[in-house]
Amino acid sequence: MKKTNLFSPLIIAGMATAAAAAFVPHSAIAEDQGTEEWSFETGLAAMYAPDYEGSDDYEIAPVPLLEISWNDRITLTTYGGPGLYAKAYGTEDFRVDLGIRYEGGREASDNDALGGLGNMDVGAVAVGAVSYEMGPMEIGLELAHDLGGDRKGTAATLEAEYAMPVFNGQARLTIAPHLTWVNEDYMDNSFGITASQAASSTLGLAQYDPAAGLRDVGLTLGVGYPVTDNVLALARVDYSRLMSEAADSPLVKDQGSANQMSAIFGLVYKW
């Protein structure tokens, strides 16, 4: 994963699981960190996103941005949710990253559709990612596995990102198609409805037992514009289409929407 790739959807696991998960866990500012041993970033963004994965109701939430990186090898960050990452292997074009991050779950009070279904905690998620750069194109694959909580799922996300200079070379535009496959545990806990949940659902949702499969496909557009030498303005818009078993869930088909949008805007200061 490139350090500049704030806008990558590699770790977006649905806006209901973590509002902060609109970022990849590496520096968003400089294309080249140079030889500096330490780098620091702090900022604030506002995110507009569904109130649960598959919802058609949206909310705005603040997203704090903080990152401390040492030699492009160890990174403590809030990008993508609070996490700690290490570059396990890297060449000029190829990179392997390992880490652990925290992802939020969902509350039954978040939306009327969730009434009676109970809360879903997620917590710690183990992450492994590989990426390969070919000029302005980068191809990446991330595997994420829940280490605790209620979801107990595994997700695999594949993306291809193309970056280009815009505004006379002063800014950077990224275009990234992506798709995510999830296992049965993830699908079950995020989109399924057990017999007991169906019995207690305030809206009378039917029991639903989905299988593993493609969760979504989508496209992300992002722009980073340097306001000063140390301040970067950020904007990102993502569209994802829930697929197959996820789209057929009563939480999506009856009470939400398979079309998922999100947007985020913010400022980051680097020193």
Question: What does pLDDT average to in each consecutive run of 10 residues of the chain (271 residues)?
Answer: 39 34 38 66 96 96 94 90 94 96 93 96 95 96 94 95 93 96 96 97 97 98 95 96 97 98 96 87
d(CA 52, CA 54): 6
Q: Which of 106, 209, 127, 225 is nearest to 169 (CA)?
A: 225
Q: Are 83 and 102 a contacting pair, CB within 8 Å? A: yes
Tell me what pLDDT residue 55 has.
98
Q: Are 101 and 125 a contacting pair, CB within 8 Å? A: yes
E strand segments, the chain: 38-50, 58-70, 74-77, 83-90, 94-103, 123-134, 137-146, 154-166, 171-182, 213-226, 231-242, 259-270
Burial of residue 157 (CB within 10 Å: 0-12, 13-18, 19+) is buried
The sign of the dihedral angle between the CA atoms of 167, 61, 17, 241 is negative
Tell me what pLDDT residue 25 has.
37
Tell me what pLDDT residue 107 has.
94
CATH number of this structure's domain 38-270, picked from the four choices 3.40.1010.10, 2.40.160.40, 2.40.50.100, 1.10.10.10: 2.40.160.40
DSSP state of 110: G
Instruction: Tokens 């140390």: give the residue.
Output: 230
Whole-number CA gyration radius for the chain: 18
Q: Domain ranges in the chain?
A: 38-270
Q: Are 262 and 22 a contacting pair, CB within 8 Å? A: yes
d(CA 220, CA 2): 16
Contacts of 56 (CB under 8 A, 6+ apart): 50, 255, 256, 257
Contacts of 109 (CB under 8 A, 6+ apart): none
Query: What's phi and psi for 135, nearest 5 deg?
Result: 65, -125
Query: What's phi and psi for 243, nearest 5 deg?
Result: -120, 165
Distances (CA, A) of 270 to 55, 64, 72, 74, 235: 35, 14, 15, 17, 17
Instruction: Tokens 């009676």: give the residue.
Output: 116
Q: Are 214 and 180 a contacting pair, CB within 8 Å? A: yes
Tell me what pLDDT residue 26 has.
40
d(CA 163, CA 171): 10
Per the confidence metrics, is the pTM higher than 0.75? yes
Tell me what pLDDT residue 36 has.
65
